[in-house]
Amino acid sequence: MEIIRLKTKKLDERAHMPVYASETAAGMDLYALTPVPVIIRPGETVMIHTGLAMEIPEGYAGFVYARSGMAVKSGLAPANKVGVVDSDYRGEIMIALHNHSDQERVVEDGDRVAQMVISPVQRAWVVECDTLSDTERGEGGFGSTGEK
């Protein structure tokens, strides 16, 4: 496994540095930074501060995912499903946390609210064309590969 250097700056001395929960975890936990508990009503999205900025190396991106336990147990997950942090972004990492449940939820300072996976990215050279090569699947859409 390749390990890269991820320069991380605390924008607030109270911020929690990201932590991998286990030796082989793919994502590092991101923690809420809030002076008071944040109430998230059903169906509401609230921006949660982390108090961190990162220098993601060129050729990589940070992908922000839900923490599975939090999403399943409390219905809280990133509103955009997967957040993408580009390597040229230097602002604060924020989590748009959405409450999918039918009950109010509370986020406290130091709660683990999301996880970030650092992954290499490949850019594409987009070429306009009039035809595409044929495949067995062709234009079959959602669920078409499971049909018989």
Decide if 141 is inside a domain: no
* pLDDT < 50 stretches in the chain: none
Decide if 128 is inside a domain: no
What residues pair up with 63 in beta bridges, in sequence order?
84, 117
Per-residue model confidence (pLDDT) at position 62: 98
Per-residue model confidence (pLDDT) at position 146: 66
Per-residue model confidence (pLDDT) at position 70: 80
Per-residue model confidence (pLDDT) at position 147: 56
As for how many domains the chain has, the answer is 1
Decide if 33 is inside a domain: yes
Decide if 47 is inside a domain: yes
Give 127-143 pLDDT, tens digit per residue: 999 999 998 888 877 76
Residues 6 or more apart from 48 whose CB is under 8 A from it? 32, 33, 34, 38, 94, 95, 96, 97, 107, 113
Per-residue model confidence (pLDDT) at position 73: 86
Instruction: Give the Cα separation of 86 and 101 in Å (integer).
Output: 30
Decide if 147 is inside a domain: no
Task: Say which residue the tokens 């923490």 belong to.
Answer: 67
3-state secondary structure (DSSP) of residue 48: strand
Per-residue model confidence (pLDDT) at position 137: 81
Per-residue model confidence (pLDDT) at position 143: 67
The residue segments making up the domain with residue 82 are 7-123
CATH number of the CATH domain containing 16: 2.70.40.10
Longest dimension (CA), the chain: 58
